[in-house]
Amino acid sequence: MNNCLIFTGNANRPLAEKICRFLGKQLGKIEVSRFNDGEISVKIEENVRGKDVFIIQSTCHPVNESIMELLVMLDAFRRASPKRITAVVPYYAYARQDRKDRPRVPITAKLVANLLVAAGAQRILTMDLHAPQIQGFFDIPVDHLFAAPVIINYLKSKNMKNPVIVAPDVGSVKMARAFAKRLSSRLAIVDKRRDGPDSVEATHLIGEVSGCEAIIVDDLISTGNTVIEATKVLLENNASKVFVSCTHPVLSNGAIEKLNRSGLSEIIITDTIPHNILPEKFTILSVAELLGEAIKRIHLETSVSSLFI
Ligand code: R5P
């Protein structure tokens, strides 16, 4: 792994450090700071000529700063003659606007893909894209990992009685079905209606949850409204306990307090997005080893596909 160098911006340094620990490597030397007016300043502090460079940067809060840092870092690297640059984006933001579902709206998932490639990314490693077809927004290789193996191992270790996996909306059904299959449990679906970007109403439940431990699975939690509405429906339908697991804890807009006060028994998240202090109900699982293993396999040019399960 000597020719493999790993760098990070400021978005999620703890995750980058964990990945490096798993790989037995030091983080590459780079200074990512700000000019007085807020512009981003980047200086790579070591030679990267001919190296296989991985830049770890979740595009999480502050989203626009994180994306811009990644773009400026990519530009710095492409001008320093590495052999290849892979952008490792554990959380890919702006992904929810992935199609023109109304007149005169942007497709930001495609815009971000264009920006990453224009800035110098030659390969992307990411996790649980909001819509898997975003891979096709790139004309460079994209390795799309799932956090499911990490979350499922944890759920198995809880030995739940009579679990049922719940999709909190129609968009999450595929993910929920994969979890249900691997946990040999049943599936239920909540019918969610969205009145605006941050306002949802869940009314109907498809499936039986009475007396079951219900586990809602989703790719991300932002305001928490989707999960909280689904939890109400599940408890009204006599679920004995409700858990939620999600890959990307965006947790915007007071979501932490709202989720903590809700009827949820546990909120299981991963570390694609960092959070300092969270209430006891939150369990953080690390995807560092999964990402580290993928980086190793990409660098050594061995198969990554066995990680895509
Ligand atoms: C929806 O399509 C997503 O999978 C999430 O359910 C949604 O984005 C979560 O948003 P919020 O937490 O704001 O309801």
Which pLDDT score, from 0 to 100, does residue 202 have? Answer: 64
In the predicted model, residues of the chain with pLDDT beneath 70 are 195-200, 202, 309
Parts of the chain belonging to CATH 3.40.50.2020: 4-146+288-308, 148-285
Q: What is the number of other CB atoms lying within 10 angstroms of the CB of residue 36? A: 5
Tell which atom from ligand 1 comes closest to the C-alpha of 198. Answer: 13
What is the DSSP secondary-structure string of 81-130?
--SEEEEEESS--STT--S--STT---HHHHHHHHHHHHT-SEEEEES-S
> Can you tell me whether residue 287 is helix, strand or coil?
coil
Kindly state if the Cβ of 220 falls inside 6 Å of ligand 1. Answer: yes
Q: What is the number of other CB atoms lying within 10 angstroms of the CB of residue 21? A: 14
- Mutational test site, ligand 1, from 172, 194, 222, 247, max ligand atoms within 8 Å of CB: 222
Write down the CATH number for the domain with range 4-146+288-308. Answer: 3.40.50.2020
Tell which atom from ligand 1 comes closest to the C-alpha of 226. Answer: 14
Tell which atom from ligand 1 comes closest to the C-alpha of 255. Answer: 12
- Per the CB < 8 A criterion, the answer to whether 168 and 200 are in contact is no
Which pLDDT score, from 0 to 100, does residue 198 have? Answer: 64
Q: Which CATH number fits domain 148-285: 3.40.50.2300, 3.40.50.2020, 3.20.20.70, 3.40.50.300?
A: 3.40.50.2020
- Give, in order, the Cα–Cα distances in Å from 290 to each of 22, 97, 302: 10, 27, 15
Structure tokens of 64? 């626009």
Nearest to 56 by CA among 12, 113, 2: 12
* Active site residues per annotation: 192
Q: What is the number of other CB atoms lying within 10 angstroms of the CB of residue 258? A: 15
**Residue 220 Cα to ligand 1 middle (Å):** 6
Nearest to 7 by CA among 40, 75, 71, 54: 54
Kindly state if the Cβ of 201 falls inside 6 Å of ligand 1. Answer: no
**Residue 84 Cα to ligand 1 middle (Å):** 34
The model's pLDDT over 241-256, given as tens digits with 9 standing for 90+, comes to 999 999 999 999 899 9
**Can you name the residues that pair with 200 across neighbouring β-strands?**
194
